[in-house]
Amino acid sequence: MITIFEKSKGGVSAIEILKLDVPDTGRIPKELERDFLELPEVSEIEVIRHYIQLSRRNFGVDLGFYPLGSCTMKYSPKINEEIANFEGFSGLHPYVPLSFSQGSLKLMYGLSSFLKEISGMDAVSLQPAAGAHGELTGIMIMKVYFEKKQEKRTKIMIPDSAHGTNPATVTMCGFTCMQVKSSSKGSLDIDDLKAKIDSDTVGLMLTNPNTLGIFDENILEIIKIVHDNGSLVYCDGANLNANMGIVRVGDLGFDMIHFNLHKTFSTPHGCGGPGSGPLGVKEYLAEFLPNPTIIEEKNGGRESYKLDYSKNSIGKVKAFYGNFTVLVKAYAYIMGLGAEGIKNAAENAVLNANYMMSKLKKHYNLPYDRICQHEFVIDDSRMENNVTTNDIAKRLLDYGFHAPTVYFPLIVKGAMMIEPTETESKETLDRFCDVMIKIKEESKTDQDKVKNAPWKMPVKRVDAVKAARELDVVFNK
């Protein structure tokens, strides 16, 4: 495969640039003037073939099973894309006066209401563009919350099973991370929490269920310990697919949560977005949310929607209202499923994960052997001939599956984190388990086949370190 620039030959063009048919005033601002712009010169069919060929080397949920733990790579119904493409949504300019954009404001208000209901929070901002961005917004709010109380606190506690964005967020906000250990059962070690929490603690960031797919059975006690210390509890809501419609984090006592709309609420993700990571907070933190939020007013039974600016807001975190079309898709998805459907999705996600876990644990080591939520973690410690998680992941590609998340969470050596999601059939789950069992067999009888996989991919086994350090997109020259 070569780049489109290498396919370029002089004098060929896929488009015809028309001659200027108005007087040339010569008034292009100096800074916008270009002597020469290098564009590939290729015909239309060459452009089409180039990009179709590239797309066929790619893998996505629309092509096969994608059990990438923590990422919730579930199928997103295509109707939601269609709705997001409605002219009234996609063609609307964000500067249009409020009287012309009531429908879109109503949709965003409605989505905020759904998210409040699902999470048990009191107020929502739709602005953050990703989960990590929701975290940043939330921790900035913790910062101003304590500033307003004139308390100086500097440390945020994070379990050792946390996603990397949690410590990154804490550091970005100028706080210090305090790591809390996991217990032998895979939940938070309460003794370690008690030993480390003190008057300098801003709060705790917790993913529940955590990245081992375990719902923390001590969650009420944990939240009480943190609150008794005057600190706040952040819920990393990336795993909401396991318990939406079943348990509300606000009822458990969490002070805030971000939602990954691109994981839980039907936006395809990967390849850099766009995503959306709304933040929900309790009443006492609502005044700090990014400006503006949307409010509903009722005049004689007729609703209208307005923007509300709080003087204590942390400010804006994203232009306008966030990634609007992602919000449309989430709204359509929630409306489509309804309350019962949302709950069913979570229940089936959990059922699918437990089904696979019980099949695979006969063949692979399961470090935390207990009922899981929507994902579970196995490892490579029972493999023979030094076959590693990396080898298994590469061999799965030959069988047409995307690999699970590997080597994460960090507390499990050689981890493989498997998340089937609710949208996969029993046949698909069985096929994946059969292949995993087959790879285990291959590693005994035909180890080279596993260790040098993949064989069927356009790119064979690469030197991953070199590929990361010296990125060269022109392969097979």
Ligand X SMILES: *Cc1c(COP(=O)(O)O)cnc(C)c1O
Q: Which is nearer to ligand X, 214 or 450 (CB)?
A: 214
Q: Is 394 in the site for ligand X (CB under 6 A)?
A: no
Q: Which is nearer to ligand X, 175 or 399 (CB)?
A: 175
- For residues 131 and 116, give the distance between their C-alpha atoms in angstroms, rounded to a whole number: 17
- Min CB(170)–ligand X separation in Å: 13
Q: Which is nearer to ligand X, 203 or 454 (CB)?
A: 203
Q: Which is nearer to ligand X, 211 or 293 (CB)?
A: 211
- For residues 129 and 114, give the distance between their C-alpha atoms in angstroms, rounded to a whole number: 18
- Min CB(192)–ligand X separation in Å: 20
Question: What x/- string results for residues 222 through 251 when contact with ligand X is judged by CB under 6 A?
Answer: --------------x-x-------------
Q: Is 216 in the site for ligand X (CB under 6 A)?
A: no
Side-chain-side CA neighbours of residue 446 (13 Å): 10
User: In the range 69-108, which residues lie near ligand X by CB under 6 A?
Assistant: 70
Stretch that binds ligand X, among 23-31, 128-136, 302-310, 318-326 (CB under 6 A): 128-136
Q: What is the total count of residues that contact ligand X (CB under 6 A)?
A: 13
Query: Quick one: DSSP state of residue 77?
Result: -
- Min CB(214)–ligand X separation in Å: 13
- Min CB(373)–ligand X separation in Å: 12
- Min CB(260)–ligand X separation in Å: 5
Q: Cα 449 to chain center, whole Å?
A: 33
- Min CB(236)–ligand X separation in Å: 5
Q: Is the Cβ–Cβ distance between 169 and 149 less than 8 Å?
A: no
Q: Is 329 in the site for ligand X (CB under 6 A)?
A: no
Q: Is 419 in the site for ligand X (CB under 6 A)?
A: no
Stretch that binds ligand X, among 95-103, 126-134, 185-193, 340-348 (CB under 6 A): 126-134
Q: Is 182 in the site for ligand X (CB under 6 A)?
A: no
Indicate which single residue of 42, 68, 121, 132 sits in contact with ligand X (rule: CB under 6 A). Answer: 132
3-state secondary structure 357-425: HHHHCCCCECCCCCCCCCCEEEECCCCCCCCCHHHHHHHHHHCCCCCCEECCCCCCCCEEEECCCCCCC
Which tokens in the block code for residue 199? Answer: 């008057």
H helix or E strand, kind and range, residue 263: helix 261-264
- Min CB(119)–ligand X separation in Å: 16
Q: Is 211 in the site for ligand X (CB under 6 A)?
A: yes
Question: What x/- string results for residues 136 through 165 when contact with ligand X is judged by CB under 6 A?
Answer: ---------------------------x-x
Instruction: For residue 196, count CB atoms less than 10 angstroms from its CB and return exposed for 0-12, middle for 13-18, buried for 19 or more.
Output: middle
Span between the terminal Cα atoms of the chain, in Å: 7
Centre a 10 Å sphere on the Cβ of residue 229 and count the other Cβ atoms it contains.
18
3-state secondary structure 190-223: HHHHHHHCCCCEEEEEEECCCCCCCCCCCHHHHH
Q: Is 170 in the site for ligand X (CB under 6 A)?
A: no
Q: Is 130 in the site for ligand X (CB under 6 A)?
A: yes
- Min CB(262)–ligand X separation in Å: 6
Q: Which residue, judged by CB position, is nearest to ligand X in the bound state?
A: 131
* Pairing label, strands 155-159, 176-180: parallel
Q: Which is nearer to ligand X, 101 or 169 (CB)?
A: 169
Q: Which is nearer to ligand X, 244 or 383 (CB)?
A: 244
Q: Which is nearer to ligand X, 142 or 439 (CB)?
A: 142
Question: What x/- string results for residues 273 through 312 when contact with ligand X is judged by CB under 6 A?
Answer: --x-x-----------------------------------
Q: Is the Cβ–Cβ distance between 264 and 72 less than 8 Å?
A: yes
Question: What x/- string results for residues 361 through 390 when contact with ligand X is judged by CB under 6 A?
Answer: ------------------------------
DSSP 58-70: ---TTTS---BTT
- For residues 90 and 325, give the distance between their C-alpha atoms in angstroms, rounded to a whole number: 7
- Min CB(109)–ligand X separation in Å: 23
Q: Is 213 in the site for ligand X (CB under 6 A)?
A: no
Q: Is the Cβ–Cβ distance between 144 and 291 less than 8 Å?
A: no
- For residues 216 and 187, give the distance between their C-alpha atoms in angstroms, rounded to a whole number: 5
Q: Cα 317 to chain center, whole Å?
A: 18
Indicate which single residue of 125, 260, 266, 390 sits in contact with ligand X (rule: CB under 6 A). Answer: 260
Alpha helices in 57-178 (DSSP H): 78-84, 87-90, 102-119, 131-148, 165-172
User: In the range 53-72, which residues lie near ligand X by CB under 6 A?
Assistant: 70
Q: Which residues bind ligand X (CB under 6 A)?
A: 70, 130-132, 163, 165, 207, 211, 236, 238, 260, 275, 277
